[in-house]
Homo-oligomer: A and B are copies of this chain.
Amino acid sequence: MSSPRFEPKNPDFRAAATSTFDRQPAMRTLGISLARLEPGEVDLEMPYAPAFTQQHGFVHAGIITAGLDNACGIAAFTLMPADTGILTVEFKTNLLAPAKGDRFVFRARVIKPGRTLTVCDAQAFAVQAGHESLIATITGTLMALPPRG
């Protein structure tokens, strides 16, 4: 997007958000990568992996939620001041269709940024033979932790 909806407080938000993402071993283990990063908007991607499936061969709802939650966290983080920490307060996921695809995309955008609390939405899409279909949604609340003095 050429005209971001939000003005980042941290001019180095890209480096800060990328570094926070990269320091999460869970993301590496799940094979999730950062595909797009704008102020208040993030896309993550994840390949299909049999190791993370449930009893029908679809990716487990908890793993899809891990991707959705992380996309929300990084999207919220892009709008926070430098040296702020972040934690997830809560989220709600609706599972709309089986997580069946070659890969998965998690698209998050900030709905309401705040000094303490930020609310984000994200959608998970399954990509199969180049076709995207919506499989899950999340709404989450993220909390900014001020730098330790």
- On A, residues with C-beta under 8 Å from B are 20, 23-26, 29, 50-55, 59-63, 65-70, 87-98, 111-112, 116-117, 119, 121, 134, 137, 139, 141, 143
Contact = CB atoms under 8 A, between A and B. Distances in A.
A68 to B, nearest CB: 8
Given A94-B119, A112-B96, A26 B88 contact: no
Contacts of A65: 62, 65-66, 69, 93
A96 B117 CA distance: 10
Given A95-B90, A112-B134, A60 B66 contact: yes
Contact of A94 (B25, B67, B90): B90
A53 B66 contact: no
A147 to B, nearest CB: 14
